[in-house]
Structure 1
Amino acid sequence: MLRFWKKKPKPEDEAATEDVAAAAQPEAQPEPGSEPTPEPANEPAALLEPEPEPEPEPEPEPEPIPTVVAEPAAPAAPPGKKGWLARLKEGLSKSTSRLTEGIGGIFTKRRLDEEALEELEELLITADLGPAMAAKVTGELAKSRFGKDVTPDEVRRFLADRIAETLAPVAKPLDLVAAARPHVILVVGVNGAGKTTTIGKMAKQYRDQGKRVLIAAGDTFRAAAVQQLEVWGERAGCPVISRETGADAAGLAFDALERARREQADVLLIDTAGRLQNKANLMAELQKIVRVLKKQDAGTPHSTLLVLDATTGQNALSQAEVFRDMVDVTGLIVTKLDGSARGGVLVALADRFKLPVHAIGVGETIEDMRPFEAGAFARSLTGLEA
């Protein structure tokens, strides 16, 4: 508490006060018990010896004012997490720049002629939309606008509409089979595509929905994959079933399904190896996993998801072809759309394989993997406001 007190006059102020009082009162009354000091008579003022100044009394020590220590300012709150559409647009920025800059360079103050159509088709192919999709888009544009003046914005809107039409039939969220307990999801793809991370994110999302989830670390040849899944499992509160390095992946899958059924889990996620350089061995392993699962439940796996890395561009189409021959792929998850200028490959995948695209990833966090939305993707890819 702050304390306030009356300021004690300084010694020189006291002397001045006494002189004034003496002038106002000719006879000062002596203090009781003290002898009066005789005043010299008719002495000039200059000859009077000055009275000795009284010794100043030490001023009392003021009570200390409590020190108020300011609390350290709270760190500025981190900026709010960007919404999904903002993250999608940001993730596709490299792909968007390639398309928008290319279209702007072709159609600035120009009519739609054969040369412009040829340049547009080449641009769409280099943006990984694929030759078939590029030919389809330019053909439709020629039918409606050939010989007329077109602006870059008109071309971008036309392209966004055609892309959305292609993607709409395959934009399907992954629905769990209500009657299946557990719903078995087999996840396949080449090493490095993001299978393990995708499984971890899916487990966390399902767990946050209140579902009981088990994870089977079926890539028994990569210790790093098992460790990564264990980290995700701990984070999500999901048990991870694993074996020693080199163990039989099909046997692990069998045991995992048995445990999931015994514990009445809602979802069983099974990771697999992705050593595409040895295609024959990989195919044999995946097919064996499917066989042993079906021995326990003929309807399993209920979903077989292929994880594809968008940064590989047209290689993603080759991988889709290979894995579709190995197992019955039921849907796709496309990752790392934020890592390259090849976001158009998703359009080529949809156009060629017609497989459902359940989710896409545009970053490392769990919030950066969401169900696929055709319209939002098409407009973000072409640089239009969502």
Structure 2
Amino acid sequence: MELILAVVIALVVAVAVTSGLVISGRKKKQLPPAEPPSTAPTITAPPAEPHVGEEAETPREEPRRTVEEVELPAEAAPEAPAPEAPVVEEPLVEEPLAPEIEVPEPTAGRLVRLRARLARSQNSLGKGLLTLLSREHLDEDTWEEIEETLLTADVGVAPTQELVDRLRERVKVLGTRTPDELRGLLREELVALLGDFDRSVKTESPEDTPGVVMVVGVNGTGKTTTTGKLARVLVADGKSVVLGAADTFRAAAADQLQTWGERVGAHTVRGPEGGDPASIAYDAVKEGIAEKADVVLIDTAGRLHTKTGLMDELGKVKRVVEKHGPLDEILLVLDATTGQNGLIQARVFAEVVDITGIVLTKLDGTAKGGIVVAVQRELGVPVKLVGLGEGPDDLAPFEPGAFVDALIGD
């Protein structure tokens, strides 16, 4: 009995010891350290909808479907492939077409073709003289009216007196004066007054170099345009031309001249705006020699005749060009509508460069035809070309007979 009691006590003690060890092990187990408090703002969720208590909804019975009744979702149709973007071909960049080369009108007889334009603006001179000469009695008053008519037409004092004296003598000797006789008489005297000059533009150089023509004149006379039209005249006569754009002070002057040249296939030598005109003129002649051109036309800057420095520079251009050879022509462009004022310009230019010929522009407008006589007498050089319109082929070689016929009519 005692033995059984001792066994029971031993068992109880063993169980107690074992329980203590388990409890002690559990107490020694360490929990993970607490996370530090977050600094992020606390987001408070909205209160949940009450679903308990009195506010809870009463559950509703829903019809249930069998497995057979449940329809599977239809398979999504395969997406159609995205249409390919059309291939856009880059447009080919075409090179600018060269301007079509024009064929200028022949110069022979050009003044005759333009006679109607000249006659419209000069009728007052020719018709007025014929009317006065047809009077039955040519007294002193009539001769004074004849003189006034000639002076009004810008013929000039000395040429007018010379013409009136010759007419008086011829009429006195002639006696009877029929309209045809008077017209023939007046025509002869006017042609004689215009003088017998060589009016061809010199483009034949004695040396193995191109003929060089320099065009000068004041601003506003149409000098650059005249240079371009002169290139057409020379091309029409079978010449090859190189243009020198030595007018570097007027905006777009070089562009204007180059456009004229491209129309007839003439190469234009140009430089920067405000560049040295003498250098460009020199290069133009050099280019003409390299291309074996027939003629080099040099357009100089339009200069006010009162600015001595600019006029001296024109002399420099002349000297530089002459290093290649002599200048064959120096043409002075005058606006015919300026009348006697044009003579002042002519005198100043003649002092700086040796003028060899005159180009009268705008002779078809309000110009007075007598300026042809006056400017020739002033400079002792001929009018070689006249401008009778704004068309590209309205620059014509001057022909005294055709000019007088246009003045006095048929």
* TM more than 0.5: yes
C-alpha separation between the residues in 2 aligned to 1:291 and 1:175? 19
Larger Cα Rg: Structure 1 or Structure 2? Answer: 2
Structure 2 segments unaligned to the other structure (5+ residues): 1-105
After the TM superposition, which residues 191-210 of structure 1 pair with which residues of structure 2 at under 5 Å, given as runs?
191-210=219-238
Note if 1:348 corresponds to 2:388.
no
Distance 1:231 1:267, change over 3 A: same
Q: Which amino acid aligns with 1:373?
A: E
CA–CA separation in structure 2 for the residues paired with 1:253 and 1:145: 54
Match of 1:238 among 256, 263, 266: 266
Confirm or deny: 8 A CA contact 2:110 2:396 kept in the other structure. Answer: no
1:66-85 correspondence to structure 2 within 5 Å: 84-85=111-112
Judged with a 3 Å threshold, the aligned counterparts in structure 2 of structure 1 residues 94 and 204 are, in CA distance, closer, same or farther, namely closer
> Residue 328 and residue 118 in structure 1: after superposition, are their counterparts in 2 closer, same or farther (change >3 A)?
same
| 2:339–2:371 Cα contact (<8 Å) kept | yes
Q: Does 1:217 align with 2:270?
A: no
Q: Does 1:160 align with 2:178?
A: no
> Equivalents in 2 of 1:279, 1:150: separation in Å?
53
Which of 262, 266, 283 is the matching residue for 2:311?
283
Q: How much identity, in percent, do the aligned residues show?
A: 42
Letter aligned with residue 177 of structure 1: E
Task: For structure 1, list consecutive stretches of 5 or more residues without a partner in the other structure.
Answer: 1-80
- TM-superposed CA distance for 1:146, in Å, is 4.7
Indicate the residue corresponding to 1:337 in structure 2.
363
Instruction: Give the conservation status (yes or no) of the 8 Å contact 2:311–2:352.
Output: yes
Residue 357 in structure 1 maps to residue 383 in structure 2: yes
Equivalent position of 1:170 in the other structure: 197
> Is residue 185 of structure 1 aligned with residue 213 of structure 2?
yes
What is the alpha-carbon distance in structure 2 between the residues aligned to residue 242 and residue 259 of structure 1? 11
Question: Number of paired residues?
Answer: 301
Letter in 2 for 1:225: A
By how many angstroms is 1:346 displaced? 0.4
Q: Determine the structure 2 residue equivalent to 1:111.
A: 137
The letter of the residue matching 1:135 is Q
Q: Match for 1:363: what amino acid?
A: G
Which amino acid letter does the alignment assign opposite residue 245 of structure 2? Answer: A
- Tell me the CA shift for residue 103 of structure 1: 4.5
- Once the two structures are superposed, residues 199-257 of structure 1 have per-residue CA deviations (whole angstroms, 9 ceiling, x without a partner) of 11121232344433111111110123222101101111111111122111111111222
CA distance in 1, matches of 2:252, 2:286: 25
Letter in 1 for 2:224: T
Separation in structure 2 between the aligned mates of residue 140 and residue 250 of structure 1, nearest angstrom = 48
Counterpart Cα distance in 1 of 2:366 and 2:180: 23
Q: Which residue number in structure 2 is paired with residue 251 of structure 1?
A: 279
Partner of 1:120: 146
Q: What displacement does 1:280 show?
A: 0.3
Q: Does 1:87 align with 2:87?
A: no
Note if contact 1:217-1:272 (Cα within 8 Å) is conserved in structure 2.
yes
Of 324, 328, 334 in structure 2, the residue corresponding to residue 302 of structure 1 is 328
Q: What is the letter of the counterpart of residue 365 of structure 1?
A: G
Closer, same or farther: CA 314–132 of 1 in aligned 2, 3 Å = same
Which secondary structure does the structure 2 equivalent of 1:296 belong to?
A: coil
The verdict on how the C-alpha distance between 1:171 and 1:334 changes in structure 2, with shifts beyond 3 A counting, is farther
Amino acid at match of 1:269: L
Name the stretch that deviates more: 134-143 or 92-101.
92-101
CA–CA distance in structure 2, aligned partners of residues 339 and 303 of structure 1:
27
**Secondary structure of 2:147's aligned partner:** helix
2:230 maps to amino acid: M
Give the aligned partner of residue 375 of structure 1.
401
TM-score by length of 2: 0.68
The answer to whether the 8 Å contact 1:89/1:381 transfers is no
Query: Is the partner of 1:381 in helix, strand or coil?
Result: helix
Contact 2:338–2:367 at 8 Å: present in 1 too? Answer: no
Alpha-carbon shift at residue 312 of structure 1 (Å)? 1.1
Distance 1:195 1:291, change over 3 A: same
